A and B are shown apart, each in its own frame.
Chain A
Amino acid sequence: DAGVIQSPRHEVTEMGQEVTLRCKPISGHNSLFWYRQTMMRGLELLIYFNNNVPIDDSGMPEDRFSAKMPNASFSTLKIQPSEPRDSAVYFCASSLAPGQSYEQYFGPGTRLTVT
């Protein structure tokens, strides 16, 4: 199994540009999570899907962030417009069972730098 796949691995963009991060969960996993990690705030859950439906998006910072899961094998996290404070590592994770307490498998992350 290839594990959770994220692309791109690194993204450098200018303030105001649109950024799209992509994730392919492990086949057969029903839950998908997007996290953001910074030195100051640690690892924060942004949004959680179960069976392609958003269950908890209370961690999404503001309207500039949006996430979609059009099917069981693909999800996107979009930031529009991007700001320097969005610079962070964004992780996608998937889980076989519903809920956040079950074992989550994390991808390698996308390091986003907004200048």
Chain B
Amino acid sequence: LAKTTQPISMDSYEGQEVNITCSHNNIATNDYITWYQQFPSQGPRFIIQGYKTKVTNEVASLFIPADRKSSTLSLPRVSLSDTAVYYCLVGERDKIIFGKGTRLHILP
């Protein structure tokens, strides 16, 4: 199972673009990369998933380089409500593990 490493915490300001990078050096061929967001006192919420190159949805973009040993979640123009914990998960169909995540704090 691929181990992921991401920063414990990050601060940013409203209106800025935030990039959170996750490293997963031993990612396997069949592994997908998934990001979840968790607000205080709530369950995690799926944000985005990708396998390679770039994926974009209405909430975020996910950039994955060719070697797939890392990935970057990009949140455009963050607001105070984006303050949350962001989890990077790597795994194939039947096994994923939530790490400690990155605690993102958005400042006014």
Contact = CB atoms under 8 A, between A and B. Distances in A.
Interface of A: 4, 35, 42-45, 55-56, 91, 93, 98-101, 103-109
Given A42-B100, A42-B101, A101-B32, A56 B43 contact: no
Nearest 3 A/B pairs, CB to CB? A106-B43, A99-B93, A43-B98
Contacts of A100: 91, 93-96
DSSP class of B's interface residues: helix, strand, loop or mixed? loop
Contacts of A93: 43
Contacts of B93: 98-101
B42 A101 contact: no
How many residues of B sit at the interface, in one of the four size bands?
A: 20 to 34
A105 B94 contact: no
Interface in B38-78: 41-46, 49
Nearest to A95: B46
Contacts of B102: none
